[in-house]
């Protein structure tokens, strides 16, 4: 589980971000999708408390959906930074900063795991 989360945070997250930020489009569909993902994660989380000892899949799905919503929020932030100052330098910096920002949930998970031990 730890290796899966690490790979998601440091490989898949930045790659997914860079793929999504290349597409030009409006920000509101991404915000709507991110909101729906958060609501779905709450649905999976509410079911997870009933089956946690038997099946950890709902917890994993809940974490996955929250993480995907976070990546979408980083795409929205990068597009907003570029829209505020549309220069090639800002485009590079916004992509770099927000790609690194997709790894932030990993540090929260690692801190929570360290405190639980």
Residue 51 has pLDDT above 80, yes or no: no
pLDDT of 48 reads: 62
Q: Is residue 64 packed enough to be buried (19+ CB in 10 Å), middle (13-18) or exposed (0-12)?
A: middle
> What is the pTM assigned to this prediction?
0.87
**Which whole number is the average pLDDT over 17-32?**
88
Q: Which domain holds residue 52?
A: 2-116
Could you give the number of structural domains in the chain? 1
Residue 43 has pLDDT above 90, yes or no: no
**Which whole number is the average pLDDT over 56-65?**
84
Give tens-digit pLDDT for 63-78. 899 999 999 999 999 9
């Amino acid at each position: 589980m730890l290796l899966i989360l690490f790979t998601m945070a440091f490989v898949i997250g930045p790659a997914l971000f860079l793929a999504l930020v290349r597409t030009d489009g409006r920000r509101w569909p991404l915000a709507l999708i991110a909101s729906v993902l958060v609501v779905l994660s709450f649905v999976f989380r509410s079911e997870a408390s009933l089956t946690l000892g038997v099946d950890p899949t709902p917890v994993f799905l809940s974490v996955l959906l929250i993480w995907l919503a976070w990546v979408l929020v980083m795409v929205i932030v990068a597009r907003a930074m570029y829209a505020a100052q549309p220069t090639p330098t800002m485009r590079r910096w916004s992509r770099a900063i927000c790609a690194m920002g997709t790894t932030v949930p990993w540090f929260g998970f690692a801190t929570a795991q360290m405190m639980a031990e």
